[in-house]
């Protein structure tokens, strides 16, 4: 039972879980923990128990490798019941994260002490399941039905101070004194002869019945397509009955979801994130390279958003723009975004001011001289970016990392403008940068391993998801997006209307369709890029030539009256599309929704296969993560590569071959990698 130790501090038994790296509740840990609890309960010299964990965290959840497989008792729900039944007081000492089964164990203890940096939560919905160890029944009894719904349905975490105020923990202690504080509390409980304080014995404070009706409606809207959040509402609603009945309902829902398809899909996404952190040729013994100070060049939407990310992570950042008015606009927008974020997170005003104070505005590029990292975030113009990097080469201190936020330019060409290409890479943040989780970390040909490693560590410190990609134009996400955009334009020429295409993709699971998304971003952005590369999208080009650039001009694929963000079908768009068809000699015909989905998704998969074969993308899972976190691909479908395997890669191959013949488009011919995998009877993941 090496995973769980028991030691004595006088009459207090300290049970310590030690299962690195995150003390996951594997079967071995559960069995050893059950044995140690029994040992403490049967020892007459023991008067109380403290449950604690070694290493950097409390129990961070179940062993996900065991989920979905036959499970051997004791299960987490069994351990929780065992702790509940203990006649002697049990105190949980929480540091790091207490997530999923970890929080369920802590909730089954009679008292809870937390370190100030601890975070607690039940994130199971992010795996397509609900808590299965009594969490949906004990948490409402600890903090009330409404706060419990908010945490369980969203899968969000709560900090130690907020947990104390909510009644989820009983006391805070410093990290160094956590065990001593928990032991002292246990001794005080014994001295005062307090009986165990069991959450299962509490009733959930009454709430109006419409709370759950409203929660179901909100969950259906906010988590469209996901099953677990709605089921989580049902489980929490069951906590309003007696504990045993509610627990039976939780267990039934948990088992149902564990057998369902979304658990397998979201489990795939979870493991893809783990794999994305592994770069096979990156040495593990690189010396740490601290990024203690940053500079951002360009105070536009992206630059301001990136600066906000740094300040929010406690990293001082200089925001530089040569235009005073642009700098002032950027700072004003940044403050508005920060204030909005602070309200959502209940961040105190003093903390908001402290973080905003980390952002120093400047009109001088020379003020980037002291930065450990400089991120260029100016207009997408290659000569302009090269000019800035040439100047930064002279200004930045030796060893500083020079990063570009370009979304499609060749990072190798940008690096070539410096005498230190080994220090250059791309950090492609997605808009809005302070909200979007994904960062494509673009490894140029000369990027030094230490630079890549430091950048990956930084992105994680910013609480974002880094995915390493190669330095080809457009990288991974936008290379695939280009194929979708080209096929979307062709669908309009063939007879579909913008609302037909958008509706099909929304029903597939995207938050918005491609044309609504383009209207939001602005048609002129991609138009300039296409013109620079000599590429034509006939319908999109015609709309731009008519001055229809999207929401900012009040008209694009849709019409936006009175500054509305809700697009309306527009006769003028249809006339422009009809004129393009006539000019190209295309006969209009209706296009079914299923065909629309195939014609937009399969060319993306085809391009992704080419990116895999060329090494621009490292793994199919990386591509899935990029599209889920950067472009709104429904996570419950697993990403484009996982989806291709689900529908059958042979089916994707056959449809691509058919489209290539029907449309006379060689680019749609199945990629060699797809042909090989199908011939071998394999998919991307098999």
3 state DSSP class of 631: helix
Q: How far apart are CA 513 and CA 557, in angstroms?
A: 11
% of the chain residues with pLDDT over 70:
100
What local confidence, expressed as pLDDT, does residue 69 receive?
Answer: 83
Any domain includes 269: no
Any domain includes 289: no
In whole numbers, what is the pLDDT of the chain averaged over residues? 95
- Greater model confidence, 138 or 284: 138
**Phi then psi dihedrals of residue 604, to 5 deg:** -65, -45
What local confidence, expressed as pLDDT, does residue 351 receive?
Answer: 80
Any domain includes 277: no
Q: Are 374 and 297 in contact (CB under 8 A)?
A: yes
The structure tokens 């998801």 sit at 465
pLDDT in tens, 283-328: 988 887 889 999 999 999 999 999 999 999 999 999 999 999 999 9
Confidence of residue 71 (pLDDT cuts 50, 70, 90): confident
Provide the CATH number for the domain around residue 457: 3.40.50.720
3 state DSSP class of 429: strand
Q: How far apart are CA 429 and CA 439, in angstroms?
A: 5
The structure tokens 């299965």 sit at 132
Q: How far apart are CA 254 and CA 68, in angstroms?
A: 11
pLDDT in tens, 337-391: 888 877 777 777 788 888 899 999 999 999 999 999 999 999 999 999 999 999 9
Any domain includes 466: yes
* CB neighbour burial string for 248-284, b if at least 16 within 10 angstroms, e if fewer: ebbbebbeebbeeebbbbbbbbeebbeebeebeeeee
Q: Are 603 and 531 in contact (CB under 8 A)?
A: no
Co-location of 15 and 107 in the same domain: yes
Any domain includes 76: yes
- Please compute the mean of the pLDDT values over residues 190-216 and round it to a whole number: 95
Confidence of residue 404 (pLDDT cuts 50, 70, 90): very high
**Phi then psi dihedrals of residue 396, to 5 deg:** -65, 145
> What is the DSSP-derived secondary structure letter of residue 297?
E
What local confidence, expressed as pLDDT, does residue 282 receive?
Answer: 92
Co-location of 623 and 573 in the same domain: no
3 state DSSP class of 278: coil
Q: How far apart are CA 3 and CA 33, in angstroms?
A: 8
Q: Are 391 and 417 in contact (CB under 8 A)?
A: no
Q: Are 37 and 43 in contact (CB under 8 A)?
A: no
Q: Are 403 and 376 in contact (CB under 8 A)?
A: yes
What local confidence, expressed as pLDDT, does residue 84 receive?
Answer: 95
Provide the CATH number for the domain around residue 627: 1.10.1040.10
Residue closest to 461 by CA, chosen among 295, 616, 310: 310
Co-location of 173 and 149 in the same domain: yes
**Phi then psi dihedrals of residue 171, to 5 deg:** -160, 155
3 state DSSP class of 618: coil
pLDDT at 529 over 90: no
Q: How many CB atoms lie within 10 A of CB 367?
A: 16
Would you say the C-alpha torsion 56, 61, 67, 73 has a positive or negative sign? positive
pLDDT in tens, 434-467: 899 999 999 999 999 999 999 999 999 999 999 9
> What is the DSSP-derived secondary structure letter of residue 114?
E
What local confidence, expressed as pLDDT, does residue 675 receive?
Answer: 98
Co-location of 461 and 446 in the same domain: yes
Residue closest to 128 by CA, chosen among 634, 603, 649: 634
Q: Which residues contact 664 (CB under 8 A, 6 or more apart)?
A: none
Co-location of 616 and 638 in the same domain: yes
What local confidence, expressed as pLDDT, does residue 345 receive?
Answer: 72
Q: How far apart are CA 617 and CA 637, in angstroms?
A: 20
- Please compute the mean of the pLDDT values over residues 529-541 and round it to a whole number: 92
Provide the CATH number for the domain around residue 197: 3.90.226.10
Co-location of 486 and 438 in the same domain: no
Co-location of 416 and 456 in the same domain: yes
Residue closest to 497 by CA, chosen among 511, 481, 520, 515: 515
Q: How far apart are CA 23 and CA 559, in angstroms?
A: 54
Co-location of 90 and 230 in the same domain: yes
The structure tokens 């006391």 sit at 171
What local confidence, expressed as pLDDT, does residue 538 receive?
Answer: 96
Angle between helices 135-143 and 145-154 (to 10 degrees): 140
Co-location of 57 and 80 in the same domain: yes
pLDDT at 42 over 90: yes
Co-location of 125 and 140 in the same domain: yes
Among 259, 278, 308, give the residue marking a domain's end.
259
Co-location of 632 and 617 in the same domain: yes
Residue closest to 369 by CA, chosen among 346, 397, 391, 407: 397
What local confidence, expressed as pLDDT, does residue 65 receive?
Answer: 86
Domain range enclosing 488: 478-501+515-584
Residue closest to 147 by CA, chosen among 124, 120, 174, 118: 120
Any domain includes 384: yes
Vertex 233, ends 229 and 237: CA angle to 5°? 165
- Please compute the mean of the pLDDT values over residues 72-90 and round it to a whole number: 96
What local confidence, expressed as pLDDT, does residue 271 receive?
Answer: 95
Among 524, 551, 584, give the residue marking a domain's end.
584
Co-location of 439 and 570 in the same domain: no
Q: How far apart are CA 18 and CA 481, in angstroms?
A: 45
What local confidence, expressed as pLDDT, does residue 344 receive?
Answer: 76
Among 555, 584, 613, give the residue marking a domain's end.
584
Confidence of residue 98 (pLDDT cuts 50, 70, 90): very high
Any domain includes 276: no
Cα→Cα distances 273→287, 351, 629, 645, Å: 24, 31, 11, 19
pLDDT in tens, 639-675: 999 999 999 999 999 999 999 999 889 989 999 999 9
Cα→Cα distances 310→106, 260, 374, 408, 450, Å: 33, 39, 12, 23, 20
Largest CA distance in the chain: 92
Any domain includes 280: no
How many distinct structural domains can be found in the chain? 4
Q: Which residues are catalytic?
A: 104, 124
């Amino acid at each position: 039972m090496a995973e769980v130790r028991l030691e004595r501090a006088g009459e207090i038994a300290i049970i310590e879980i030690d299962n690195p790296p995150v003390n996951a509740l594997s079967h071995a840990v559960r069995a050893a923990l059950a044995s140690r609890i029994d040992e403490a309960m049967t020892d007459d010299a023991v008067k109380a128990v403290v449950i604690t964990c070694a290493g950097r965290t409390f129990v961070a959840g179940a062993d996900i490798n065991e989920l979905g497989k036959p499970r051997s008792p004791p299960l987490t729900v069994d351990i929780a019941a065992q702790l509940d039944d203990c006649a002697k007081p049990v105190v949980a000492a929480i540091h790091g994260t207490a997530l999923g089964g970890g929080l369920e164990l802590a909730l089954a203890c009679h008292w809870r002490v937390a370190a100030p940096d601890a975070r607690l939560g039940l994130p199971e919905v992010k795996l397509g399941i609900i808590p299965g160890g009594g969490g949906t029944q004990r948490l409402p009894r600890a903090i009330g039905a409404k706060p419990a719904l908010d945490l369980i349905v969203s899968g969000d975490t709560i900090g130690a101070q907020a947990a104390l105020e909510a009644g989820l923990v009983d006391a805070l202690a410093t990290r160094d004194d956590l065990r001593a504080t928990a032991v002292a509390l246990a001794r005080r409980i014994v001295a005062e002869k307090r009986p165990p304080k069991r959450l299962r014995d509490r009733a959930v404070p009454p709430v109006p019945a419409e709370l759950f009706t409203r929660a179901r409606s909100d969950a259906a809207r906010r988590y469209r397509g996901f099953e677990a959040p709605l089921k989580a509402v049902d489980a929490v609603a069951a906590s309003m009955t007696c504990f045993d009945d509610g627990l039976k309902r939780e267990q039934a829902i948990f088992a149902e979801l564990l057998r369902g398809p979304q658990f397998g899909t979201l489990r795939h996404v979870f493991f893809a994130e783990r794999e994305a952190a592994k770069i096979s040729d990156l040495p593990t013994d690189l010396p740490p390279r601290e990024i203690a100070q940053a500079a951002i060049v360009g105070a536009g939407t992206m630059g301001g958003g990136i600066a906000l990310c740094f300040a929010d992570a406690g990293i001082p950042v200089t925001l530089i723009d040569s235009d005073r008015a642009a700098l002032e606009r950027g700072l004003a927008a940044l403050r508005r975004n920060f204030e909005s974020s602070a309200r959502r997170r209940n961040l105190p005003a003093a903390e908001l001011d402290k973080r905003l104070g980390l952002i120093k505005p400047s009109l001088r590029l020379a003020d980037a001289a002291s930065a450990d990292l400089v991120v260029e975030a100016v207009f997408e113009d290659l000569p302009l970016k090269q000019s800035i990097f040439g100047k930064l080469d002279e200004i930045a201190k030796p060893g500083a990392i020079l990063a570009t936020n370009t979304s499609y330019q060749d990072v190798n060409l940008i690096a070539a403008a410096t005498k230190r290409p080994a220090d250059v890479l791309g950090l492609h943040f997605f808009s809005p940068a302070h909200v979007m989780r994904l960062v494509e970390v673009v490894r140029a040909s000369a990027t030094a391993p230490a630079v890549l490693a430091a950048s990956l560590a930084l992105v994680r410190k910013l609480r974002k998801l880094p995915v390493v990609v190669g330095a080809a134009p457009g990288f991974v996400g936008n290379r695939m997006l280009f194929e979708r955009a080209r096929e979307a334009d062709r669908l309009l020429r063939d007879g579909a209307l913008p609302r037909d295409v958008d509706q099909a993709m929304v029903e597939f699971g995207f938050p918005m369709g491609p044309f609504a998304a383009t209207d939001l971003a602005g048609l002129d952005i991609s138009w300039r890029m296409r013109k620079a590369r000599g590429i034509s999208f006939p319908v999109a080009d015609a709309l731009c030539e008519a001055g229809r650039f999207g929401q900012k001009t009040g008209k694009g694929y849709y019409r936006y009256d009175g500054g509305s963000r809700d697009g309306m079908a527009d006769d003028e768009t249809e006339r422009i599309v009809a004129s393009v068809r006539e000019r190209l000699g295309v006969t209009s015909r209706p296009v079914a929704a299923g065909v629309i989905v195939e014609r937009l998704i399969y060319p993306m998969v085809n391009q992704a296969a080419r990116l895999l074969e060329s090494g621009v993308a490292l793994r199919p899972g990386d591509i899935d993560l990029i599209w889920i976190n950067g472009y709104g691909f429904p996570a419950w479908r697993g990403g484009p590569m996982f989806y291709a395997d689900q529908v059958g890669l042979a089916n994707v191959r056959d449809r691509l071959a058919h489209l290539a013949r029907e449309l006379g488009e060689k680019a749609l011919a199945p990629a060699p990698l797809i042909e090989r995998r199908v011939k071998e009877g394999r998919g991307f993941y098999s």
